[in-house]
């Protein structure tokens, strides 16, 4: 898959997460948008830091986001209908696209 297409793919929201304290507010906003777009198109991008000197590296942040996201979906009785694509966004960030299948077909 062409990384330039992933970097420039239009999504509803892009969140840059660099600390674990930013995850919960992002998940709350994610759930609101996910509920609103159940029948339509849904696309979010999460950017995680690539530098290694952060307290939480990208793998830990990604795992925490994934766990919180799955718990929030279950708590809200929503079925996860998402395709996730992870890629190197730029020199400073990893990118993580969360798309419903309808949006993923556009790639």
Quote the pLDDT of residue 58: 80
What CATH homologous superfamily does 3-104 map to? Translation initiation factor 3 (IF-3), C-terminal domain (3.30.110.10)
CA pair distance 88, 25, nearest whole angstrom: 24
Task: Give the residue extent of every domain in the chain.
Answer: 3-104
pLDDT digit string (tens) for 65-87?
999 999 999 999 998 888 999 99
Look at residue 4 in the predicted model and tell me its pLDDT: 85
Percent of the chain with pLDDT over 90: 52
* 3-19 per-position pLDDT tens digit: 888 889 989 999 999 88
Give the CA angle between residues 51, 98, 15 to the nearest 5°: 50
The least confident of 39-48, 53-62, 85-94 is 53-62
Q: Which among 39, 44, 29 has a CA at the least distance from the CA of 85? A: 44
pLDDT of residue 54: 59
């Amino acid at each position: 898959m062409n990384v330039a297409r992933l970097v420039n793919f239009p999504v509803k929201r892009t969140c840059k997460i660099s600390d674990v304290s930013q995850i919960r507010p992002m998940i709350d906003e994610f759930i609101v948008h996910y509920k609103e777009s159940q029948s339509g198109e849904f696309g979010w991008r999460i950017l995680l830091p690539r530098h290694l000197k952060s307290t939480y590296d990208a793998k830990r942040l990604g795992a925490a986001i994934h766990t919180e996201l799955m718990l929030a979906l279950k708590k809200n009785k929503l079925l996860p209908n998402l395709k996730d694509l992870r890629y190197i966004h730029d020199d400073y960030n990893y990118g993580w696209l969360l798309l419903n299948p309808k949006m993923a077909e556009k790639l």
